[in-house]
Amino acid sequence: MRMDFLPSLVVAALIIGTAAEAQDTSDWQFQITPYAWLSGLEGDVGAIPGVPSGSVDLSFGDILDDLDFAGMVMASARNGPWVIYLDTAYVRTSSTEKLGGRVFDRVDVESETANLALSVGRAFAETPGGSVDVYVGARAWWMENRFDLHGVRGGRSKRTEDANWIDPLIGISARTQVADRWILFGALEAGGFGVGSDNAWSALAGATYQVTDRFGATFGWRHLAVDYNSNGVLFDVHQAGPVLGATFKF
């Protein structure tokens, strides 16, 4: 994958780091949640410029059949009213599709999709058991598709297409402790605004059961939508499904 705009992410990280340094580091509270998102994929995808886009409607089971690797992490660092959020995901899949054409018989496709969001926010409402935060930041996307076309008469043609972009984002999140060991949380965010994608939004709601003071089991539901269309690459999709994770505090 190309990292053409990696310097922009470094600048974003430096800005957030500066905000963190403004606080007493001894008071920071950190939380990290590796998770699995059992989502499907629905929408329109076009990865080869000049070739019409196609509709996709995949269940999680369909995606799992082609899955090579996936890694997803949510994290936060909080100091008083200030909070830094990180959310990142990486998915690699491999599939073979029959074409049935006169020239090409089938195509092998290897796909990699990754995104990383960094945000900084501040609580505008606080209670002894939680807070409501507003935040701003950016989400970077990397996509790469490698196509290996197999000809009817044995010939082969390979091609790689990629797309990278950054979406500004704004959001609101909330968390509250409703019982001795139960914490409810939720977040709603919007982004894109024509800067990277035309628009993007996501919603997350769930709960964490605190097994110990430093470890909890997290589950919930997440919906993510993004509409990107540039230079012949179309990625206009919705992903939705349950989230299962383990939350560590320190």
How confident is the model over 184-232, as pLDDT tens digits? 999 999 999 999 999 999 999 999 999 999 999 999 999 999 999 988 7
Tell which wins on pLDDT, 59 or 34: 34
Mean pLDDT of the region 154-182: 88
What is the band of 65 on the pLDDT scale with cuts at 50, 70, 90? confident
As a whole number, the mean pLDDT across the chain is 83
pLDDT at 8: 46
Helices and strands (H and E) in the chain: how many = 2, 12
Kindly report the backbone phi and psi dihedral angles of residue 181, in degrees, each rounded to the nearest multiple of 5, phi listed first: -120, 5
Cα separation, 41 vs 62, in Å, equals 9
What is the band of 86 on the pLDDT scale with cuts at 50, 70, 90? very high
The set of residues, in sequence order, having a beta carbon less than 8 Å from that of 82 and lying 6+ positions away, is 19, 20, 23, 120, 121, 122, 123
Task: Report whether pLDDT(82) > 80.
Answer: yes
How confident is the model over 99-135, as pLDDT tens digits? 666 656 667 778 889 999 999 999 999 888 899 999 9
pLDDT at 100: 63
What is the band of 6 on the pLDDT scale with cuts at 50, 70, 90? very low
131 - beta bridge partners?
Answer: 126, 175
* Domain annotation for the chain: domains and CATH numbers: 6-249 (2.40.128.130)
Q: Judge contact between 44 and 237, C-beta under 8 A.
A: yes
What is the band of 151 on the pLDDT scale with cuts at 50, 70, 90? confident
Is-above-0.75 flag for pTM? Answer: yes
Cα separation, 237 vs 250, in Å, equals 36
Structure tokens that stand for 176 in this block = 């509250």
What is the band of 1 on the pLDDT scale with cuts at 50, 70, 90? very low
